[in-house]
Structure 1
Amino acid sequence: MDGKPGLRERKKQRTHAAISDAAITLFLEHGFQQVSVAQVAEAAEVSKRTLFAYFPAKEDLVVHRFADHEGESARVVRARHPDASPFAALREHFLNGLHERDPITGLNDHPQVLRLTRMILDAPSLVARMERFKTGAERALARALHESADIPETSARLAAVQIVAVQWALANDNSERLAGGEPAEARYPGAVADAEHAFELLENGLRQLTPQQ
Protein backbone atom coordinates (compact mmCIF):
# COMPACT_ATOMS: atom_id res chain seq x y z
CA MET A 1 0.00 0.00 0.00
CA ASP A 2 1.34 3.43 -0.94
CA GLY A 3 -0.89 5.36 1.42
CA LYS A 4 -2.48 7.38 -1.36
CA PRO A 5 -6.25 7.99 -1.18
CA GLY A 6 -8.43 5.80 -3.38
CA LEU A 7 -10.61 6.96 -6.26
CA ARG A 8 -13.68 7.45 -4.04
CA GLU A 9 -11.73 9.52 -1.52
CA ARG A 10 -10.13 11.64 -4.25
CA LYS A 11 -13.58 12.34 -5.68
CA LYS A 12 -14.78 13.45 -2.25
CA GLN A 13 -11.78 15.75 -1.90
CA ARG A 14 -12.45 17.31 -5.31
CA THR A 15 -16.11 17.85 -4.48
CA HIS A 16 -15.22 19.39 -1.12
CA ALA A 17 -12.72 21.73 -2.77
CA ALA A 18 -15.14 22.68 -5.56
CA ILE A 19 -17.88 23.61 -3.09
CA SER A 20 -15.45 25.56 -0.91
CA ASP A 21 -13.94 27.46 -3.83
CA ALA A 22 -17.36 28.32 -5.25
CA ALA A 23 -18.57 29.55 -1.86
CA ILE A 24 -15.56 31.74 -1.12
CA THR A 25 -15.65 33.25 -4.62
CA LEU A 26 -19.34 34.15 -4.29
CA PHE A 27 -19.01 35.39 -0.71
CA LEU A 28 -16.08 37.67 -1.53
CA GLU A 29 -17.83 39.04 -4.61
CA HIS A 30 -21.30 39.59 -3.17
CA GLY A 31 -21.01 39.34 0.62
CA PHE A 32 -21.66 36.44 2.98
CA GLN A 33 -25.16 37.55 3.93
CA GLN A 34 -26.22 38.17 0.32
CA VAL A 35 -25.37 34.71 -1.02
CA SER A 36 -27.65 31.75 -0.35
CA VAL A 37 -26.64 28.13 0.10
CA ALA A 38 -28.68 27.33 -3.03
CA GLN A 39 -26.54 29.75 -5.04
CA VAL A 40 -23.36 28.12 -3.78
CA ALA A 41 -24.68 24.66 -4.66
CA GLU A 42 -25.62 25.84 -8.14
CA ALA A 43 -22.18 27.40 -8.71
CA ALA A 44 -20.46 24.21 -7.50
CA GLU A 45 -22.83 22.09 -9.62
CA VAL A 46 -24.02 19.98 -6.69
CA SER A 47 -27.35 19.58 -4.91
CA LYS A 48 -28.10 21.34 -1.63
CA ARG A 49 -28.24 17.90 -0.02
CA THR A 50 -24.71 17.15 -1.22
CA LEU A 51 -23.47 20.53 -0.04
CA PHE A 52 -24.85 20.00 3.46
CA ALA A 53 -23.26 16.53 3.55
CA TYR A 54 -19.88 18.26 3.29
CA PHE A 55 -20.70 21.50 5.14
CA PRO A 56 -23.47 21.17 7.77
CA ALA A 57 -23.94 24.94 8.10
CA LYS A 58 -23.42 27.91 5.82
CA GLU A 59 -20.75 29.29 8.17
CA ASP A 60 -18.74 26.08 7.77
CA LEU A 61 -18.17 27.01 4.13
CA VAL A 62 -15.87 29.75 5.43
CA VAL A 63 -14.61 28.56 8.80
CA HIS A 64 -13.43 25.18 7.52
CA ARG A 65 -10.48 27.08 6.00
CA PHE A 66 -9.24 27.44 9.58
CA ALA A 67 -10.09 23.90 10.70
CA ASP A 68 -6.52 22.63 10.54
CA HIS A 69 -5.47 25.37 12.94
CA GLU A 70 -7.95 24.40 15.65
CA GLY A 71 -5.59 21.78 17.03
CA GLU A 72 -2.37 23.53 15.98
CA SER A 73 -1.23 24.62 19.44
CA ALA A 74 -1.98 21.16 20.78
CA ARG A 75 0.12 19.60 18.02
CA VAL A 76 2.99 21.98 18.81
CA VAL A 77 2.94 20.94 22.46
CA ARG A 78 2.83 17.23 21.66
CA ALA A 79 5.58 17.45 19.01
CA ARG A 80 7.97 19.70 20.95
CA HIS A 81 11.58 18.74 21.62
CA PRO A 82 11.94 16.80 24.89
CA ASP A 83 14.08 19.60 26.33
CA ALA A 84 11.60 22.36 25.41
CA SER A 85 8.81 23.48 27.69
CA PRO A 86 5.29 23.65 26.20
CA PHE A 87 5.31 27.41 26.66
CA ALA A 88 8.65 27.90 24.88
CA ALA A 89 7.50 25.72 21.99
CA LEU A 90 4.28 27.72 21.58
CA ARG A 91 6.13 31.03 21.71
CA GLU A 92 8.63 29.93 19.07
CA HIS A 93 5.85 28.59 16.85
CA PHE A 94 3.91 31.87 16.95
CA LEU A 95 7.02 33.92 16.19
CA ASN A 96 7.85 31.61 13.28
CA GLY A 97 4.31 32.09 12.04
CA LEU A 98 4.80 35.85 12.02
CA HIS A 99 8.04 35.48 10.09
CA GLU A 100 6.38 33.21 7.53
CA ARG A 101 3.30 35.47 7.29
CA ASP A 102 0.99 32.66 8.33
CA PRO A 103 -2.58 34.02 7.91
CA ILE A 104 -3.54 32.59 11.31
CA THR A 105 -1.25 35.18 12.95
CA GLY A 106 -3.11 37.99 11.18
CA LEU A 107 0.12 39.10 9.48
CA ASN A 108 -0.70 38.33 5.85
CA ASP A 109 -1.70 41.12 3.51
CA HIS A 110 -2.50 39.07 0.44
CA PRO A 111 -5.61 40.80 -1.01
CA GLN A 112 -7.82 37.71 -0.80
CA VAL A 113 -6.76 37.04 2.81
CA LEU A 114 -7.60 40.63 3.75
CA ARG A 115 -10.99 40.41 2.03
CA LEU A 116 -11.75 37.14 3.79
CA THR A 117 -10.83 38.65 7.15
CA ARG A 118 -13.06 41.68 6.58
CA MET A 119 -15.92 39.44 5.50
CA ILE A 120 -15.68 37.38 8.69
CA LEU A 121 -15.54 40.44 10.92
CA ASP A 122 -18.58 41.93 9.17
CA ALA A 123 -20.78 38.84 9.62
CA PRO A 124 -21.97 38.23 13.22
CA SER A 125 -22.72 34.55 12.52
CA LEU A 126 -19.15 34.02 11.28
CA VAL A 127 -17.71 35.79 14.31
CA ALA A 128 -19.80 33.52 16.53
CA ARG A 129 -18.65 30.45 14.62
CA MET A 130 -15.02 31.54 15.04
CA GLU A 131 -15.62 31.71 18.80
CA ARG A 132 -16.53 28.01 18.68
CA PHE A 133 -13.28 27.43 16.82
CA LYS A 134 -11.46 29.25 19.62
CA THR A 135 -13.14 27.09 22.26
CA GLY A 136 -12.10 23.96 20.38
CA ALA A 137 -8.52 25.19 20.30
CA GLU A 138 -8.59 25.74 24.07
CA ARG A 139 -9.89 22.24 24.74
CA ALA A 140 -7.35 20.59 22.46
CA LEU A 141 -4.47 22.53 24.02
CA ALA A 142 -5.66 21.73 27.54
CA ARG A 143 -5.66 18.01 26.72
CA ALA A 144 -2.17 18.25 25.23
CA LEU A 145 -0.80 20.10 28.25
CA HIS A 146 -2.32 17.54 30.61
CA GLU A 147 -1.41 14.42 28.64
CA SER A 148 1.99 15.27 27.19
CA ALA A 149 3.33 17.71 29.79
CA ASP A 150 1.79 16.02 32.86
CA ILE A 151 0.19 19.27 34.04
CA PRO A 152 -2.85 18.88 36.34
CA GLU A 153 -6.16 19.10 34.46
CA THR A 154 -7.44 22.29 36.06
CA SER A 155 -4.11 24.06 35.62
CA ALA A 156 -3.89 22.84 32.02
CA ARG A 157 -7.39 24.12 31.24
CA LEU A 158 -6.75 27.54 32.76
CA ALA A 159 -3.39 27.84 31.03
CA ALA A 160 -4.90 26.87 27.66
CA VAL A 161 -7.60 29.53 27.97
CA GLN A 162 -4.99 32.21 28.62
CA ILE A 163 -2.58 31.08 25.89
CA VAL A 164 -5.24 30.83 23.19
CA ALA A 165 -6.71 34.19 24.24
CA VAL A 166 -3.30 35.84 23.85
CA GLN A 167 -2.71 34.25 20.45
CA TRP A 168 -6.19 35.32 19.38
CA ALA A 169 -5.69 38.91 20.56
CA LEU A 170 -2.32 39.22 18.82
CA ALA A 171 -3.76 37.88 15.56
CA ASN A 172 -6.76 40.21 15.77
CA ASP A 173 -4.52 43.22 16.39
CA ASN A 174 -2.46 42.35 13.33
CA SER A 175 -5.54 41.73 11.19
CA GLU A 176 -7.09 45.06 12.13
CA ARG A 177 -3.88 46.96 11.34
CA LEU A 178 -3.51 45.28 7.96
CA ALA A 179 -7.20 45.75 7.19
CA GLY A 180 -6.61 49.44 7.90
CA GLY A 181 -3.94 49.59 5.21
CA GLU A 182 -0.70 48.92 7.09
CA PRO A 183 1.61 46.64 5.02
CA ALA A 184 2.67 43.34 6.60
CA GLU A 185 6.35 44.25 6.21
CA ALA A 186 5.86 47.50 8.09
CA ARG A 187 3.81 45.80 10.79
CA TYR A 188 6.21 42.88 11.31
CA PRO A 189 8.62 44.48 13.85
CA GLY A 190 5.72 45.72 15.94
CA ALA A 191 3.96 42.36 15.70
CA VAL A 192 7.09 40.60 16.96
CA ALA A 193 7.51 43.11 19.79
CA ASP A 194 3.87 42.71 20.82
CA ALA A 195 4.16 38.92 20.73
CA GLU A 196 7.35 38.95 22.79
CA HIS A 197 5.70 41.23 25.34
CA ALA A 198 2.52 39.13 25.48
CA PHE A 199 4.38 35.86 25.95
CA GLU A 200 6.57 37.45 28.60
CA LEU A 201 3.44 38.46 30.52
CA LEU A 202 2.06 34.96 30.12
CA GLU A 203 5.29 33.36 31.25
CA ASN A 204 5.44 35.47 34.39
CA GLY A 205 1.85 34.65 35.22
CA LEU A 206 2.17 30.94 34.49
CA ARG A 207 5.63 30.21 35.84
CA GLN A 208 4.19 28.30 38.79
CA LEU A 209 2.90 25.52 36.54
CA THR A 210 4.62 22.30 37.57
CA PRO A 211 4.21 18.65 36.56
CA GLN A 212 2.19 16.33 38.76
CA GLN A 213 4.19 14.53 41.44
Structure 2
Amino acid sequence: MTLLRHRDRIEGDLVIEVAFTDVSLELGDAAPDDVRSAALAGVAAETGAVPVLMHQVHGRVVHHVADPGTDGTATCDAMITSRAGVALLARAADCVPVLLADPAGGWIAAVHAGRPGLAAGVVPGAVARLREQGARPSVAWVGPHVCGSCYEVPQDLQDEVAAIVPEARSTTSWGTPALDLGAGVRAQLAAAGITDVRVVDACTREDVSWPSYRRDGARATRFAGVIWSHP
Protein backbone atom coordinates (compact mmCIF):
# COMPACT_ATOMS: atom_id res chain seq x y z
CA MET A 1 0.00 0.00 0.00
CA THR A 2 1.44 3.33 -1.02
CA LEU A 3 1.99 5.99 1.64
CA LEU A 4 2.22 8.84 -0.86
CA ARG A 5 -0.65 10.57 -2.68
CA HIS A 6 -0.98 12.92 -5.65
CA ARG A 7 2.41 12.00 -7.06
CA ASP A 8 3.88 13.99 -9.94
CA ARG A 9 7.25 14.11 -11.70
CA ILE A 10 9.18 16.19 -14.18
CA GLU A 11 12.43 15.43 -15.97
CA GLY A 12 15.45 17.63 -16.61
CA ASP A 13 19.07 17.22 -15.53
CA LEU A 14 17.54 15.13 -12.74
CA VAL A 15 14.14 13.51 -12.32
CA ILE A 16 12.20 15.58 -9.78
CA GLU A 17 9.28 13.96 -7.99
CA VAL A 18 6.67 15.28 -5.59
CA ALA A 19 3.98 13.68 -3.44
CA PHE A 20 1.97 14.19 -0.27
CA THR A 21 2.09 11.77 2.63
CA ASP A 22 -0.82 9.57 3.58
CA VAL A 23 -2.67 10.37 6.81
CA SER A 24 -1.40 7.07 8.23
CA LEU A 25 2.00 8.73 8.71
CA GLU A 26 2.38 10.93 11.82
CA LEU A 27 5.03 13.56 11.16
CA GLY A 28 4.14 16.23 13.73
CA ASP A 29 6.54 17.61 16.33
CA ALA A 30 4.22 16.28 19.04
CA ALA A 31 4.41 12.71 17.78
CA PRO A 32 6.49 10.25 19.83
CA ASP A 33 10.01 9.95 18.46
CA ASP A 34 9.56 6.32 17.46
CA VAL A 35 6.30 7.06 15.62
CA ARG A 36 7.82 9.96 13.71
CA SER A 37 10.95 7.93 12.94
CA ALA A 38 8.79 5.13 11.55
CA ALA A 39 6.95 7.63 9.37
CA LEU A 40 10.21 9.03 8.04
CA ALA A 41 11.42 5.50 7.35
CA GLY A 42 8.26 4.98 5.31
CA VAL A 43 8.95 8.14 3.31
CA ALA A 44 12.54 7.03 2.73
CA ALA A 45 11.40 3.62 1.53
CA GLU A 46 8.88 5.09 -0.90
CA THR A 47 11.14 7.79 -2.31
CA GLY A 48 14.56 6.17 -2.13
CA ALA A 49 15.78 9.48 -0.68
CA VAL A 50 16.91 10.77 2.72
CA PRO A 51 14.00 12.74 4.26
CA VAL A 52 14.78 16.10 5.88
CA LEU A 53 12.36 17.89 8.22
CA MET A 54 12.21 21.51 9.31
CA HIS A 55 11.45 22.81 12.79
CA GLN A 56 8.74 25.12 11.46
CA VAL A 57 8.12 28.40 13.28
CA HIS A 58 5.86 30.42 10.93
CA GLY A 59 8.67 32.67 9.73
CA ARG A 60 10.48 33.29 6.45
CA VAL A 61 13.94 31.80 7.06
CA VAL A 62 15.18 29.69 4.14
CA HIS A 63 17.73 26.95 4.89
CA HIS A 64 20.12 25.49 2.31
CA VAL A 65 20.43 21.74 2.86
CA ALA A 66 23.98 20.96 1.77
CA ASP A 67 24.43 17.68 3.64
CA PRO A 68 21.41 15.94 5.14
CA GLY A 69 23.71 13.83 7.29
CA THR A 70 24.98 16.84 9.24
CA ASP A 71 22.31 19.51 8.81
CA GLY A 72 19.90 18.04 11.36
CA THR A 73 16.49 19.69 11.71
CA ALA A 74 16.91 23.38 10.92
CA THR A 75 14.64 26.03 12.42
CA CYS A 76 13.13 27.52 9.28
CA ASP A 77 10.05 27.48 7.09
CA ALA A 78 11.68 26.75 3.75
CA MET A 79 14.49 24.51 2.58
CA ILE A 80 16.35 24.34 -0.73
CA THR A 81 18.85 21.84 -2.10
CA SER A 82 20.48 20.73 -5.34
CA ARG A 83 21.50 17.34 -3.98
CA ALA A 84 20.02 14.25 -5.55
CA GLY A 85 18.69 11.67 -3.13
CA VAL A 86 17.41 14.21 -0.59
CA ALA A 87 13.68 14.50 0.15
CA LEU A 88 12.60 17.88 1.55
CA LEU A 89 9.41 17.85 3.65
CA ALA A 90 7.05 20.73 4.44
CA ARG A 91 4.50 19.69 7.08
CA ALA A 92 1.00 21.07 7.45
CA ALA A 93 -2.44 20.63 8.98
CA ASP A 94 -4.22 23.62 7.36
CA CYS A 95 -1.19 25.69 6.30
CA VAL A 96 -0.03 25.51 2.68
CA PRO A 97 2.81 23.16 1.75
CA VAL A 98 4.51 24.58 -1.34
CA LEU A 99 7.05 22.66 -3.41
CA LEU A 100 9.29 24.34 -6.00
CA ALA A 101 11.48 22.95 -8.76
CA ASP A 102 14.05 24.03 -11.33
CA PRO A 103 13.75 21.17 -13.84
CA ALA A 104 16.79 22.27 -15.84
CA GLY A 105 19.20 22.60 -12.93
CA GLY A 106 17.78 20.11 -10.44
CA TRP A 107 17.24 22.57 -7.58
CA ILE A 108 14.21 21.94 -5.35
CA ALA A 109 12.53 23.62 -2.39
CA ALA A 110 9.90 22.83 0.23
CA VAL A 111 8.04 25.70 1.90
CA HIS A 112 5.63 25.87 4.85
CA ALA A 113 3.30 28.84 4.31
CA GLY A 114 0.85 29.55 7.10
CA ARG A 115 -0.82 32.88 7.73
CA PRO A 116 2.28 34.52 9.29
CA GLY A 117 4.54 33.04 6.62
CA LEU A 118 2.28 34.26 3.84
CA ALA A 119 2.40 37.78 5.23
CA ALA A 120 6.16 37.56 5.82
CA GLY A 121 6.76 36.40 2.25
CA VAL A 122 8.30 32.99 2.85
CA VAL A 123 7.29 31.73 -0.62
CA PRO A 124 8.85 34.61 -2.62
CA GLY A 125 11.78 34.40 -0.20
CA ALA A 126 12.38 30.78 -1.19
CA VAL A 127 12.13 31.65 -4.89
CA ALA A 128 14.65 34.48 -4.39
CA ARG A 129 17.04 32.21 -2.48
CA LEU A 130 16.93 29.65 -5.28
CA ARG A 131 17.73 32.34 -7.81
CA GLU A 132 20.64 33.54 -5.70
CA GLN A 133 22.09 30.05 -6.17
CA GLY A 134 21.75 30.36 -9.94
CA ALA A 135 18.61 28.23 -10.09
CA ARG A 136 15.65 29.00 -12.34
CA PRO A 137 12.57 27.70 -10.53
CA SER A 138 9.67 27.36 -12.93
CA VAL A 139 7.28 24.80 -11.43
CA ALA A 140 5.37 24.90 -8.13
CA TRP A 141 3.01 22.52 -6.39
CA VAL A 142 0.45 23.87 -3.89
CA GLY A 143 -0.69 21.14 -1.53
CA PRO A 144 -3.92 20.63 0.41
CA HIS A 145 -4.76 23.45 2.84
CA VAL A 146 -7.73 25.06 4.56
CA CYS A 147 -9.80 26.88 1.95
CA GLY A 148 -10.92 30.49 1.93
CA SER A 149 -14.49 29.48 2.76
CA CYS A 150 -13.39 27.77 5.99
CA TYR A 151 -10.54 29.86 7.42
CA GLU A 152 -12.37 32.36 9.60
CA VAL A 153 -10.30 35.15 11.18
CA PRO A 154 -11.10 38.39 13.04
CA GLN A 155 -11.69 41.42 10.81
CA ASP A 156 -8.54 43.20 11.99
CA LEU A 157 -6.38 40.16 11.21
CA GLN A 158 -7.94 39.82 7.77
CA ASP A 159 -7.21 43.51 7.12
CA GLU A 160 -3.63 43.12 8.32
CA VAL A 161 -2.85 40.23 5.99
CA ALA A 162 -4.84 41.60 3.04
CA ALA A 163 -2.91 44.87 3.26
CA ILE A 164 0.18 42.83 2.32
CA VAL A 165 -1.42 40.14 0.12
CA PRO A 166 -4.77 41.49 -1.16
CA GLU A 167 -5.59 38.25 -2.95
CA ALA A 168 -5.87 36.47 0.40
CA ARG A 169 -9.01 38.35 1.47
CA SER A 170 -11.98 36.01 1.58
CA THR A 171 -15.34 35.31 3.21
CA THR A 172 -16.43 32.13 4.94
CA SER A 173 -19.37 30.13 3.65
CA TRP A 174 -21.30 31.49 6.65
CA GLY A 175 -20.51 35.11 5.79
CA THR A 176 -17.69 36.13 8.16
CA PRO A 177 -14.18 37.50 7.44
CA ALA A 178 -11.71 34.89 6.24
CA LEU A 179 -8.36 34.38 4.57
CA ASP A 180 -7.62 32.30 1.50
CA LEU A 181 -4.03 31.24 2.06
CA GLY A 182 -3.91 29.29 -1.20
CA ALA A 183 -5.03 32.27 -3.26
CA GLY A 184 -2.40 34.38 -1.51
CA VAL A 185 0.34 31.85 -2.24
CA ARG A 186 -0.69 31.56 -5.89
CA ALA A 187 -0.61 35.35 -6.22
CA GLN A 188 2.90 35.44 -4.75
CA LEU A 189 4.06 32.70 -7.11
CA ALA A 190 2.64 34.59 -10.09
CA ALA A 191 4.34 37.80 -8.96
CA ALA A 192 7.61 35.86 -8.72
CA GLY A 193 7.23 34.65 -12.30
CA ILE A 194 6.23 31.05 -11.55
CA THR A 195 3.52 30.23 -14.08
CA ASP A 196 3.39 26.42 -13.95
CA VAL A 197 1.49 25.99 -10.67
CA ARG A 198 -0.06 22.60 -9.93
CA VAL A 199 -2.69 22.64 -7.18
CA VAL A 200 -4.05 19.73 -5.14
CA ASP A 201 -7.67 20.83 -4.85
CA ALA A 202 -8.52 19.74 -1.31
CA CYS A 203 -9.59 21.65 1.80
CA THR A 204 -8.05 20.10 4.88
CA ARG A 205 -10.89 21.25 7.14
CA GLU A 206 -13.62 19.79 4.91
CA ASP A 207 -11.87 16.60 3.80
CA VAL A 208 -11.33 14.27 6.77
CA SER A 209 -8.67 12.32 4.87
CA TRP A 210 -6.28 15.22 5.59
CA PRO A 211 -5.19 16.49 9.04
CA SER A 212 -6.74 19.81 10.09
CA TYR A 213 -5.98 21.87 13.16
CA ARG A 214 -9.11 23.95 12.54
CA ARG A 215 -11.25 20.82 12.61
CA ASP A 216 -9.46 18.64 15.18
CA GLY A 217 -7.57 21.11 17.38
CA ALA A 218 -4.59 19.78 19.33
CA ARG A 219 -5.46 16.23 18.24
CA ALA A 220 -4.57 17.04 14.64
CA THR A 221 -1.66 15.15 13.14
CA ARG A 222 0.53 16.51 10.33
CA PHE A 223 0.98 15.44 6.72
CA ALA A 224 3.79 16.61 4.47
CA GLY A 225 4.48 17.77 0.97
CA VAL A 226 7.58 15.91 -0.21
CA ILE A 227 9.94 16.78 -3.08
CA TRP A 228 13.03 14.86 -4.09
CA SER A 229 15.29 14.27 -7.09
CA HIS A 230 17.28 11.41 -8.54
CA PRO A 231 19.21 10.58 -11.74
* TM-score, normalization by structure 2: 0.27
Higher relative contact order (CA 8 A, sep 6+): 2
Q: Which has the larger radius of gyration?
A: 1
Q: What TM-score comes out, normalization by structure 1 length?
A: 0.29
